[in-house]
Structure 1
Amino acid sequence: MKILLTNFHYGRGGGHDTYIGVIARGLASRHQVFVAAPATSRLYAHAMAIPNVSALALEFPAKLKDVRRMVPAWRALRDLLERERFDIVHVNGSPDHRLLMFSMMGMKGPRPRVVWTKHNSIAIKHDFLTRVRATRATDVVIAVSDSTADFVNDSVYGAKPVAVVKNGVDIDAFQPASAADVAQARAALLGESQAGKLVVGTVTGFDWYKGTMDMVAAVAALPAAQREQFVVLVVGVEPNEDQWREIDALGMREQVRVAGFVEDVKSYIRAFDIGFVVSYAIETVSFACREMMAMGKPVIVTRYAGLPENIDEGTDGWIVPPHDPSALATALAQILAQRDALGAMGRRARAKAEREFSLRDFIDQTEQVYLQQLPKSPPAAS
């Protein structure tokens, strides 16, 4: 197959970058794979480094202020489609999906089959262009969780086939660390004085919808004797000025450690006792949750979107109501009282990752979605 993967983000695309990069790397040895993304994007830089993948600098302008750039972008994509004759175009957001729809109108030659992945819980519009995109520029939808599939089936895409393919992670790269490596990571990140505290960590950053400030507020709400036993370690988007002011108002400056954005999160996850992904908007199944579980960390998630699909509550993690610091505080107090159980829970989290989060399964299932869209060969003459 000749496959084009597209993404519209100009900088960091978050889970989109991970998702597309994993597919491109996994399929490049057996198919012709192209990745189209803006030249300034993190995805484009990553695609350039993947063997046997062709990285294409392409923009997907979508806002009214970008209207002058839309026609050149549309022509560039249409020329690419006519020249390369892709079997599959896999789009991953509204801007690239919309531009593909316009580019296929009046194109010469057969049009590619179009796969669209719904990555988030943002409401699907019912406007005219979205309906046209669903009916005329989509052949199959990939949903990254069961809850996402339900969401898609209730939308204007409901008449299209929907395949559930949950995100896979590299469980060979995301391995549990030895006790010595964990101790070394904690000492390096926290210092000797705090290395013995219970480290609650995430790699989702401080974007508003991730709920990280809910975790900070939950720790702050604990009685002083319990509160002092926690450190909150956050990798990713740093707090904005308002969030820092709130952290200071809660008296949590010394207990919140911020690593910022890093390319390799594994050394930070090693230092965690437990992970958390407590989103209350936009989220689906979460690469971050699955990476932390693969490294043997039990994870707190909210009962939101596809997050609970990762967790067997009380076995390899905990499920709390979304955007509810009080419920989080109650869970943290219970976790602190049962700290000796965390090792066994982490081992069960790793076992689940091995059973259910396999990168190979993710790639194979995605490939099958593509293959099912190709014309069936006629039976051989007898």
Structure 2
Amino acid sequence: MSRWRTAVFVVLGCLVLLPGFSPASADLLFPDQNTASESYYHLRVEDGEIDVRVDMLAQPASGALDEVWVWLMPGAKEITVTQGDTTLEYEYEGVEDGLGVMSVALPATLKGKLTAEFELRYVVGTQDIPEFSIKPGAIESLFVSQGAGSFVLIDVPQHGENVVDSGCILGASQPGSVKEEGYERWVCGEPIVAALSADNPDVLERCAKMSDSCRQRVLDFPISAWAQSVTDPSLQGRLKTTIELGRGPVELELKYFKSDAAWAQKQFDVSSAALPKLEGLFGWEYPWEIALLRQSNQIEFVGAAGVAFPTEGEMLIAANTGFDFDEEVTVHELAHQWAGYNLEQKWVWEGLAEYATTVLAPELGFTMYDRAWDSYGYDDPLATWYNGSS
């Protein structure tokens, strides 16, 4: 997928909830240094491992710089740090079930505008952490950046079932070594740039070519990308049926992790019933030949229970959110296939998707989650909401 998440069902999410990352550790982002970096992740999905290379350019922010701080993925092993032919010394602090951080000792103190470059390599093995699930045949993980000044590049096997964070863009440069191994490379920079430029091909092209203007810069957090890749069919369940709609037969499919089979069946049943009802409610035909839902265990980490791609007929939905509204989320995301880019204002997208879900909930047999909207005190007519409510 090349488009930014265009319609999101919000739950609650914050990077400070990441294991090993706290407001205190955020202070380590790192006031004495300025860096530019490219972090390359090569997903060896069958082996349940990731090869990592980080190319780092560092400069003192003020004063002198004797060491450079670097973030690492959980469980980093086989670590090497080099500057040309020279091996650099480092101190590594791994955090159980969380990010690692290391300090790299520079061969010479940097002052003023002097810079230093070095290369970090390591391997990430099997991890059983909710935000970093890495096992043979299936990887679903966040990917560590170096905060401001970063690009993250993710190589995924072309034969895998892949979903790459839609703030990432298929790279304009696909090196021969990547293609020859049957991989494709995705470029992930500043998510906000992708979000604001989803319909601007010039910006997306520059970001695909890794223009410096697309580097991560607004968010200092050392996370900017996510990907899912499954190569072992035994780990992924599929539910599939054909739904007759106005345009003719539409293939409805839900791809899920088999450990959540009961949840998946419930979402599939409500999807099968909802599609024709949504078409009748909106009054125009479903626009795609497919309706593909994929389970994601990661999207709620960035504050979403569901994500819709209204130009593709695809959706991501989360299981085990801790809220009793999974069917509501599923119908809401399906509704975005009617209420999306075809509408001028995004607030209308969300309003219509929520309206459709509310209207159909009794027919589909679920109760809407009570968000106590009445307690907020808004009583203005809906027509006035475009310019805000008093």
Do the two structures share a fold, i.e. TM-score over 0.5? no
TM, length-normalised to structure 2: 0.26
Task: Return the structure number with greater relative CO, CA threshold 8 A, min gap 6.
Answer: 2
TM, length-normalised to structure 1: 0.27
> Which of the pair is proportionally richer in helix?
1
